[in-house]
Amino acid sequence: MQDSQYQETLDWLFQQFPAYQKVGASAYKPSLDNCLKLASFFGNPQDNLTFIHIAGTNGKGSTSSMLASILTETGMEVGLFTSPHIEDFRERIRVNGEMISEEEVIAFCDKIKKLNLDFEPSFFELTWVMALVHFCNKTTNVCVVETGLGGRLDATNIINPILSIITNIGLEHTLFLGNTLEQIAFEKAGIIKKSIPIILGESLPETLSVFQKKANECHATLLLAEKKKVKISAFFPLLGDYQVKNYKSVETAIDYLNTIGFQITELSIEKGLKNLALNTGFRGRLQVMNQEPLTIMDVSHNYDGIKATLESILKINKGTLRIIYGTSSDKDIESIFSLFPKEADYYFTEFTNERSAKLIQLMEKSKDFKLKSTFFLNPKEALKIAQTTVKKEDTILIFGSFFLLSDFF
C-alpha cells in the first residue's frame, strides 16, 4: 500500500508541477518569489538552518558529496541536497546518507495539496522546500546545498550560507543563463552574499573579474582553491584529474570552516572520502561497475564535463574504447561529438526519459563525424551487444546523461 501511495505522490509531483528533469525549459521558474512564498507556509525553515551553498557548471555534485561526507564523519548531522536523481527521487534529500522517507514525501505533498495555492511552484521549488522542512525535522547541524540552474535566481538562493563555493564556469543552459562565460559567471555569482566568503574552484580570465567585482560589492572574501596544494593519497576514491580540482575546493572549505569553530580532522577527511558512497549515496562519476571488461559509468553531459571524462578514460583504457552514449535533445550535440575519439567504437542509444535525443539526431551526427557506430533504442541492449565483442583489455564507457544511467538501475 505504501509503495503505491508513494508512486501516486511522485506521479502527482511530476504531473502537477513539471520537472526540468522531465520536460526541460518549460519547468524553469526564473524568480525567487514562488520559493519564498512556499517556504513561508512552512514557517521559513531556511531561517533556522546552517548552509554551505555550492554552484558551478561541473563538479558541484562531487564537491557537495565529498564535503558532506567529511562533515558527517565529524559526528554532525549533515543535510545534503543534490539533483537530479538517478534511480529514486529521494536521493535528492539526505541526512548523513539516509534518504528522506517515503512517508515524509507523501506527508509534505499532502500538505501542499491542501494549501490550494494561487501560484504554480516548479517541481524543483517544491523539492527544495521539502528538503528544508526535512532538514529542520532532523535538527541538522549543517546542510550542504547544490544549486539547480545558475545561482542568482535559483530556488536554493533564498538561503544565507556560512560559506559559498563556485566550482567552475562553462557554457551550459545558455537559454537561461546567457551565451557567454561572463554572463553565466554573473548568474552563478548571484550566490555570493554580504560578508560571506566565496571559494572559487577554477578561474578563467573571462570570469575572474566578474567574481572579484561581485565579491567586492558584497565585502566577501574571495578564496581561490586552484592555488591550494593538496596531497592525494591512497584513500582518494574518485577517478579523474578533474576530481582533484574539486577536492581542492573541498580542502579550501575545510580550512575556512576550521577557523570558525568546526573540528574537521585528518581522520575525518580520510574516513569521509573512504565512506563517500555510504554517507552521501554518491555514484555515477567515473564509477567502475565491472572490472573485466572494465565498465565505467559517468553522468557527464555537457561539453566541459565530457571533455574531462574522456581525458580521464583515455589515460585508463588499454584496448579499444567502446562508448555507449545517449543524451538529452537540448544539449550542444555538435560540440560534444567534436570531442569523440575517432578510434573508439560507438553504441548510440535513446533512453526512456522523454527529453532523450532521438536516434535520427545521433545517426546524422555520427555520419557527419565519420564515427564507427551502431544504434539502439534500448540502453541495456547496447551494453549487451558491446559486451559480446569486448576484449579483456578494452574499456566500456557509458555516459551522456543522468537519465541514461537511470535506465541501468
**pLDDT tens digits for range 329-364:** 989 999 999 999 999 999 999 999 888 999 999 999
| pLDDT score for 23 | 47
Q: What pLDDT sits at residue 173?
A: 47
Place of cell 546523461: 401
Q: How far apart are CA 39 and CA 159, in angstroms?
A: 11
On the question of pLDDT at 22 being above 70, the answer is: no
Q: What is the mean pLDDT of the segment spanning 387-404?
A: 93
Q: Mean per-residue pLDDT for 38-49?
A: 97
- Per the prediction, the chain carries an average pLDDT of 91
Instruction: Report pLDDT for 156.
Output: 97
Section 233-241 average pLDDT: 77
Model pLDDT, residue 2? 63
- Mean pLDDT, rounded, for 291-306: 90
Residue given cell 578533474 in the structure block: 242
CA distances from 74 to 37, 143, 254, 267, 394 (A): 35, 14, 12, 9, 41
Residue 306 has pLDDT above 90, yes or no: yes
Give the pLDDT score at 27: 44
pLDDT in tens, 58-89: 899 999 999 999 999 999 999 999 998 988 99
Closest CA to 221 of 179, 176, 252, 188: 252
What is the predicted pLDDT for the residue at 177?
55
CB atoms under 10 Å from CB of 361, counted, come to 15
Provide the pLDDT confidence category of residue 114 given band limits of 50, 70 and 90: very high
What does the pLDDT look like over 357-377, one tens digit per residue? Answer: 999 999 999 999 999 999 999
- By the 8 A CB rule, do 192 and 219 touch? no
Q: In this predicted structure, what is the pLDDT of residue 18? A: 58
Residue bearing the bigger pLDDT, 54 or 184: 54
pTM recorded for the entire structure: 0.84
Cell numbers found for residue 251: 580542502
Q: Report whether the peptide linkage leading into residue 293 is cis, meaning its omega lies within 30 degrees of zero.
A: yes
Rounded percentage of the chain residues whose pLDDT exceeds 90? 69
How large is the average pLDDT for residues 131-154? 94
Q: Enumerate domains of the chain plus CATH numbers.
A: 2-280 (3.40.1190.10), 287-406 (3.90.190.20)
Q: Is the pLDDT of residue 30 over 70?
A: no
The predicted pLDDT at position 78 comes to: 98
- Segment among 106-110, 248-252, 279-283 with least mean pLDDT: 279-283
The answer on pLDDT for 252 being more than 50 is yes
Task: Give backbone dihedrals phi and psi of 374, rounded to 5 degrees, phi first.
Answer: -130, 160
